[in-house]
Amino acid sequence: MKKYILALDQGTTSSRAILFDQQGQIHGSAALEFPQHYPQPGWVEHDPNEIWNSQLTVARKVLHDHHVDAQQVLAIGIANQRETTVVWDRKTGEPIAPAIVWQDRRTADICDQLRAAGKARLIAECTGLELDAYFSATKIKWLLDHVPGARERARHGALAFGTIDTWLAWKLCGVHVTDVSNAARTMLFNIHLMRWDADLLALFDVPEQMLPQVVSSSEEVGVTRAALFGGEIPVAGIAGDQQAATFGQACHAPGMVKNTYGTGCFMLMHAGQHAAVSHNRLLSTVGWRVDGRTDYLLEGSVFMGGATVQWLRDGLGIIKQSSDVEALAGSVPDSGGVLLVPAFTGLGAPHWDPYARGTLAGMTRGTTAAHIARAAVESIAYQSAELLAAMQKDVAASHRAIPVTEVRADGGAARNDLLMQFQADLLGVPVLRPKVTETTALGAAYLAGLAVGFWESKEEIAAQWQCERRFEPAMGADQRAALLDRWSRAVERAKGWEAPF
């Protein structure tokens, strides 16, 4: 019987399941969107049970549709939307409240209070993260503060916290674990000592007994309940989606860069076996831990990437489906001077402004839906260009300076040729799109497969990476500089919009 690895790619707007063969090729896939909930401005929630049900549905579907039984699946790998926070009752397994999504900004005031108290440096030194509502710690604190009786129950060990990887592992296997890459995104984990940090737990008033056990990214943590898939399957790989994508892109050596164009955009650079220190408001984070070795990454996060295109579809109604945006945007030669700063949930790196809001600038009477669509697509590239510029500044200031010679692209929006070419033009380096663009799922599969011997080494994995198309920069330096300057002016107008005066 042919053997496979099953990757569960649980994203912000959809759950997917992909079967990979030993050549790293997709044997079959299934995907399902699930509801987004916006109970108040700035709030974003998910129903954890809807996440679980959608993920289980697609996992069963891909096995059924491709006539693969549990005995043919050597292992399951999990990649997940990061930072999204679930707290549930250990006995019943029921969440005590909706999951607070990574995009949610309700805890910005908690961050402001901690910043005013001078705690930002402690947090950055321990975790490599900016003090921001993006991460899990303030979300846990908010739930314990606002759900009646939750804090007392947590102190008595009755409640469990987890990011989505932990929630899925609990539902699949009944284990309470998270891997190092996800732990590093909670703002409670010391990335230098590789353990939950007592000072941070005290700062956020989070009882340690509600936290999961931290495991490596590539090891067997449990087996699925037989009733789920008709047999037990080991869960042997876990990584946050962006770390998984970096691993799937075979960015295993210092200086290699990938950018994922998903709901948000996430650019990560391999930083070696020591945590990098950013002086340009990027994040230093754990990439993965495999065979006892921890690899670190430098990361820049954009909150609104492909989600900006979804806004064109769902908010403005100027396209019927997300894939229509390339044709509409390509129907005009440029944006006609229009710039969209999609700060709908604030700005991420390198600005970290939770009070910024979406801004559409430069419109005239001649502005059309096509110009706005073009501006939306280009906004994704502009935000990513800011990230690479910050990375290059950090690299230039370090003793391990390695020039960036290419960026490997993945994610749904990477299929947009117009976006990829404009991105290469703005970056001034080639953008490479791999043959397998589902690199988040592929990375989770590789991590699981390494743990069970399906693949022998990272070198074997790297040899499987293939380029589907290479986008070369075609824009002059003067034009690039002028466009980026105009973008910077638009960003300044979006900043601090909701800040109290």
Identify the helix (H) or strand (E) that includes residue 79.
Answer: strand 73-80
Q: Give the separation between CA 467 and CA 475, rounded to whole angstroms.
A: 22
Taking the CA atoms of 181, 44, 410 and 255 in sequence, report the sign of the dihedral they define.
negative
Residues 436 and 25 sit within 8 Å (Cβ to Cβ):
yes
Phi and psi at residue 283, to the nearest 5°: -100, 140
> Burial letters for 16-53: b for 16+ Cβ neighbours within 10 Å, e otherwise?
bbbbbeeebebbbbbbeebebeeeeebbbbbbbbbbbe
Judge whether 166 is annotated as a binding position: no
What are the backbone dihedrals phi and psi of residue 153, each rounded to the nearest 5 degrees, phi first?
-65, -40
Rounded Cα–Cα distance for residues 66 and 219 (Å)? 27
Contact partners, residue 193, CB within 8 Å, separation at least 6: none
Length of the chain equals: 501
Listed in sequence order, the residues at least 6 apart from 13 whose beta carbon sits closer than 8 Å to its beta carbon are 33, 34, 36, 263, 307, 310
Q: 247: part of which helix (H) or strand (E)?
A: helix 241-248
279 burial via Cβ count (<10 Å: 0-12, 13-18, 19+): exposed
| Contact by Cβ (8 Å): 107, 141 | yes
Would you say 261 and 419 are in contact if contact means Cβ atoms under 8 Å apart? yes
449 in a known ligand binding site: no
Cis preceding linkage at 350, omega within 30 = yes
Take residue 196 and report the two structure tokens written for it. 């939950």
Is 153 known as a binding-site position?
Answer: no
Q: Is 368 annotated as a binding residue?
A: no
Residue 16, marked binder: yes
Per the annotation, does 242 bind a ligand? Answer: yes
Give the integer Cα–Cα distance in Å for 462 and 445: 13
The DSSP code sequence of 174-219 is: S--EEEHHHHTTTT-EETTTTEE-HHHHHHHT--GGGSPEEE-SEE
Alpha-carbon gap, residue 265 to 407, rounded angstroms: 13
Whether 82 has a binding-site annotation, put simply, is: yes
Is 310 assigned a ligand-binding role in the annotation?
A: yes
Q: What is the rounded CA–CA span in Å between residue 4 and residue 18?
A: 10
Per DSSP, the three-state class of 329 is: helix
364 is in an annotated binding site: no
The answer to whether 162 is a known ligand-binding residue is: no
With contact defined as beta carbons under 8 Å apart, do 210 and 87 qualify? yes
Residue 479 known to bind ligand: no
Tell me: is residue 71 an annotated ligand-binding position: no
Known binding-site residue numbers for ADP: 12, 16, 263, 306, 412, 416
Known binding-site residue numbers for glycerol: 82-83, 134, 241-242
Known binding-site residue numbers for ATP: 12-14, 263, 306, 310, 412
Known binding-site residue numbers: 12-14, 16, 82-83, 134, 241-242, 263, 306, 310, 412, 416
Known binding-site residue numbers for sn-glycerol 3-phosphate: 12, 82-83, 134, 241
